[in-house]
Amino acid sequence: MKQLSYFLTFTVADTSCALRLPTVERVILAVDIIPLPQAPEVILGVINIHGKIAPVADVRKRFKFPNKEISLKDHIIIVNSSKQRLCLLVDNVTGVIQRSEDELLPENAILPSKGSMDGIATFNDATILIQDLTKFLSLHEEKVLAGALEGVTK
Contact of 33 with 27, CB cutoff 8 Å? no
Q: Is pTM, for the whole model, over 0.85?
A: yes
Q: What is the pLDDT of residue 89?
A: 96
CA distances from 6 to 24, 50, 99, 100, 137 (A): 11, 27, 6, 9, 23
- DSSP element (H, E) containing 152: helix 139-153
Q: What is the pLDDT of residue 133?
A: 81
Q: How far from chain centre, in Å, is Cα 89?
A: 7
Contact of 33 with 130, CB cutoff 8 Å? no
Residue 142 is given by DSSP the state H
Rounded CA Rg of the chain: 16
Residues whose CB is less than 8 angstroms from the CB of residue 153 and which lie 6 or more positions away in sequence, other chains included: 53
Tens-digit pLDDT string for the chain (154 aa): 678 889 999 999 989 999 999 999 999 999 999 999 999 999 999 999 988 899 999 999 988 899 999 998 999 999 987 677 899 999 999 999 888 877 777 666 665 555 666 777 777 777 888 888 888 888 899 999 999 998 775 5
Q: What is the pLDDT of residue 136?
A: 85
